[in-house]
Amino acid sequence: EAAVTQSPRNKVTVTGGNVTLSCRQTNSHNYMYWYRQDTGHGLRLIHYSYGAGNLQIGDVPDGYKATRTTQEDFFLLLELASPSQTSLYFCASSDQGNYAEQFFGPGTRLTVL
């Protein structure tokens, strides 16, 4: 089974702070995704990537940047964090396109004060 890890698991920052969330997958998947989960909204796609150096814009990208440095590593950057970005963030990976299962990490809970 695919292994997706995220760090940190919990993060507290202040408004205007700089935050980087990390994700690593070890099963050589090409596709990686960043989601946020909020009560009443389900999971919403922020950014995704088809491979190292590739970035695609998701459905709720405002205020977020992402970078895919290697096939394994995908980072989500919040350069000026705001309280509205307080959420539970999940990273996922998959082998290919529409037919492939997405494997999720354990999540990072981010609080912006």
Footprint of other proteins (CB under 8 A): 4, 31, 33, 35, 40-45, 48, 56, 58-59, 90, 92, 94, 96-107
Using alpha carbons, list the distances in angstroms from residue 56 to 2, 11, 85: 22, 25, 20
CB of 16 to other proteins, least distance (A): 29
Phi, psi of 90 (to 5 degrees): -120, 140
CB of 15 to other proteins, least distance (A): 27
- What is the distance, to the nearest Å, from the Cα of residue 57 to the centroid of all Cα atoms in its chain? 12
Rg (CA), the chain: 13
**Under 8 Å between Cβ of 36 and 89:** yes
If the CB atoms of residues 35 and 64 are measured against other proteins, the closer one turns out to be 35
What is the 8-class DSSP label of residue 16? Answer: T
If the CB atoms of residues 9 and 16 are measured against other proteins, the closer one turns out to be 9
CB of 52 to other proteins, least distance (A): 16
If the CB atoms of residues 17 and 55 are measured against other proteins, the closer one turns out to be 55
